[in-house]
């Protein structure tokens, strides 16, 4: 394994270790590419290999791919994190301090939709607080457009809808 690829893998593992919930692949890519710690090809290959080797887990919706650190990844990072410079660690820590709320908000509202065997669509709407699901709603809808619209609106209105549900049900 080449040194840039090793460093890229360790940076991904270090970033995932700094949060206690899955974050989007886009968030990791944006940071690493903006700081020019890696190029897109190396980062894509490194992420694929980390998942393939069981160091990270990946899950996808129609709009995002989420990454999380496995125990195997955490153990590996503990052994090799001295290969990440203090400057890079500081940049990562600062990034999470400055963007924690934005990152948390982005990963706390998850949407997906899919077509059923009957031809309808189901919009799957999830609001989560860290690793706990607060509400998980599945709505049957007649068209893909309506399912996509519901998913888009859920992002902006999930907290209001959650509050209304609590108010009505409690």
Residue that terminates a domain, selected from 107, 122, 144: 107
Q: What is the pLDDT along the chain (170 residues), one digit of tens a residue?
A: 458 899 999 999 999 999 887 788 999 999 999 999 999 999 999 999 999 999 999 988 767 788 999 999 999 999 999 999 999 999 999 999 888 777 776 668 888 899 999 999 999 998 887 667 889 999 999 999 999 999 989 888 888 898 899 889 98
Report d(CA 138, CA 122) in Å as an integer: 6
Q: What's the CATH number where 92 sits?
A: 1.10.10.10
Range of the domain at 148: 108-169
Q: Say what the pTM is.
A: 0.72
As beta bridge partners, residue 24 has: 66
Tell whether 84 and 21 lie within a shared domain: yes
Same domain? For 103 and 114 the reply is no
CATH number (domain holding residue 164): 3.30.160
């Amino acid at each position: 394994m080449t040194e840039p690829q090793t460093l890229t893998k360790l940076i991904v593992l270090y970033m995932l270790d700094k949060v206690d919930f899955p974050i989007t692949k886009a968030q990791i890519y944006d940071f690493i590419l903006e700081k020019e710690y890696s190029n897109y090809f190396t980062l894509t290959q490194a992420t694929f290999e980390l998942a393939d080797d069981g160091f990270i887990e990946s899950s996808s919706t129609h709009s995002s791919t989420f990454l999380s650190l496995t125990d195997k990844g955490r153990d590996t990072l503990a052994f090799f994190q001295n290969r990440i410079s203090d400057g890079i660690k500081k940049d990562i820590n600062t990034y999470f301090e400055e963007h924690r709320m934005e990152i948390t908000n982005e990963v706390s509202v998850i949407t997906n939709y899919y077509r059923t065997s009957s031809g309808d669509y189901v919009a799957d709407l999830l609001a989560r607080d860290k690793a706990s699901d607060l509400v998980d709603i599945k709505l049957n809808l007649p068209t893909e457009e309506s399912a996509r619209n519901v998913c888009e609106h859920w992002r902006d209105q999930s907290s209001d809808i959650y509050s209304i549900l609590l108010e009505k049900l409690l």
